[in-house]
Amino acid sequence: MRKQELARFRTRLSAQRAELLGHGAETVHAMAGAPGEDLPDPNDRATRETDQGRLLRLRDRDRKLILKVEEALARIEAGTFGKCESCGGAISPARLRARPVTTLCIDCKREAEQKE
């Protein structure tokens, strides 16, 4: 896969992850503060909650999706993004565009569904 295309997937997945975690302007605000500084205002503390804390409050479905998004991002970093984890073949670009978190090519996906 070309670097440019990979970068596009990375941007898309990062945005999806941020959205699922409920990040946004709030995070930018939280990151502006110095780390370790005393925070007497509980609202300030709340904005510094870890991703883990947010993750725990999410609905099950969203939590699973975030994990898939993070795995996909890890695969981009590892250079294995777009490779079928079952047969090792390339996943079609159209399939990846429709579902960037997929780990199986269409043939292996069909096979897996038939087994179920």
| Cα(68)–Cα(74) distance, integer angstroms | 10
Query: Six-digit token pair at 47?
Result: 């904005």
Output 24 or 88, the one with its CB closest to Zn ion: 88
| Closest CA relative to residue 72, chosen from 12, 116, 115 | 12
Query: Six-digit token pair at 59?
Result: 């609905």
**Smallest separation, CB 104 to Zn ion (Å):** 6
**Smallest separation, CB 88 to Zn ion (Å):** 7
Output 24 or 89, the one with its CB closest to Zn ion: 89
Cβ count near 48 (within 10 Å): 14
Name the site residues for Zn ion (rule: CB under 5 A): 84, 86-87, 89, 105, 108
Output 57 or 110, the one with its CB closest to Zn ion: 110
**Smallest separation, CB 65 to Zn ion (Å):** 22
